[in-house]
Every structure is written in structure tokens, then in C-alpha cells.
Amino acid sequence: MSKYLVRKAAIKDIPFLVEVVVAAEKSGSDKLSYSTLFNLPEQKAKELIKSMFEEEIDGCEFSLSSFLIVEHSGQPVAAFGGWIETLNEDNMASNILKSNLISFTFGKEPMLFLKTKAAVISELVSEREPMALQLEYLYVSDDHRGKGLSNMLIEGLEKEAVAIYPALKKVQVQVYSNNDAAIAVYKKNGFTIGRSYKATNAEVLNLLPWNEKYVMEKILKN
């Protein structure tokens, strides 16, 4: 049986990473925020996500450099992204980098539509903690679940981050509170629930997979 290989993501992996983002963002629902929040067909949203990865901007959710891939028989089967918040060339927060990428890529009309929904989702927006490893977009393909690949990716991202920034003390991940499977994976890897955010506007369920998010965190003892 072929072994699993953990490696850095490469340009050739971008189509797979698009599917990773879509699956992770939907979180088991049919709501893709990059479609619902911008009034775009899902296929068009996928094309724009691909374009954001192709910009190769470091330090946010759409940084190609932040992703690790698990490969099996020469094919990507799992991925997870992680970056150290504000540890980039300009010390820019990831939310600013992400916002700039979206604005540049999506164009005027989708951005205007987003503004009409901003108040609905505002209670679910949380600031990333500086100098903490931020994890985003975990995905394992169906045929390879139950093989410990999530654990491999988390361990790999932590080791990589500590090698870059030896003073790293904290790892954080955001997850919808109804995603029991993901929460169980993170708890198994030493994460606990640090904060929760809940949206009070019922319309949020037309736009996002759920109305409550947890910020889970892990303290490193390196």
C-alpha cells in the first residue's frame, strides 16, 4: 500500500486547494460564503478563489505558501493551511491581506453586495491574535478519512511554524460550533475552546453554514 507523504503545496495543487477551501468553508452545509456573500454562482466563486491563490500573497488564508498537502499515490488527498499572524514582510494582519485580495480579485459589484450583508455577519468576525499560528481550511478526502491525516497536518504545520518562529506559544483555529467532527479532531490534538461568537440576526443562516463560531486554541510547550 502506498504511503502518505506530507509536503508543501505547489502551484500544481491550486485546483485541489480550491476544492479544499470550498469543502471547508461549507462545513457540511450547502452554503459557500464566497458565493452567498458576493451574490455569485458557485462556479464563479471557485474561479475567483483560484485567482487569489495564483497571486501568491503570503500571510493569510489564500497563501499558497501556508498550505501543507498530504499526497497518496502521487495525488493530493488532504490539506491544511497555517500562517503566523503578522509575521510577514510588512507585518500586515491577515484580514487586511485577505480583504485586499478579495477586493482586487472579485471586483466592484460583488464588493458592493458584500457591504449590504456586512452587518449580518459582523458578530462572527474575530481578530486574529498576533504572533500565534493560525490554522484554516482543513480537508481530508472521503476515501482517506480515519487515517490520521488531520493529525499529521496539524503536527507538520506546528513544526514548520516553530522552525520559523521558535518563540511561538499559541496555535488557534476557528470552527463552527455545530461541526462536531472537526471539534473532536482539534480536541484530540490538544485544543480547547477559548472564545465563542454568535450572530443574532437570523439571516446569517442564509449566508453561512451556522450562526456560532468557536476560536479553539492550543498552548505550545516548546
Query: What residue type is 119 in one-letter code?
Result: A
Of the pLDDT bands very low, low, confident and very high (cuts 50, 70, 90), residue 2 is low
Residue 190 inside a domain? The answer is: no
Domain residues for the domain of 82 are 4-166
Mean pLDDT of the 67-86 span = 98
> For residue 188, is pLDDT > 80?
yes
Q: What is the pLDDT of residues 139-181, one digit of tens each?
A: 999 999 999 999 999 999 999 999 999 999 999 999 999 999 9
Please report the pLDDT score of residue 1 as a whole number: 41
Threshold 0.75, pTM exceeds: yes
Residue 221 within a domain: no
Per-residue pLDDT, averaged over 102-115, amounts to 98
Q: What percent of the chain has pLDDT over 90?
A: 97
Q: Residue 101 falls within a domain, yes or no?
A: yes
Mean pLDDT of the chain: 97
**CATH at 158:** 3.40.630.30
pLDDT band, residue 89 (cuts 50/70/90): confident
- Confirm whether 19 is domain-assigned: yes
Domain tally for the chain?
Answer: 1
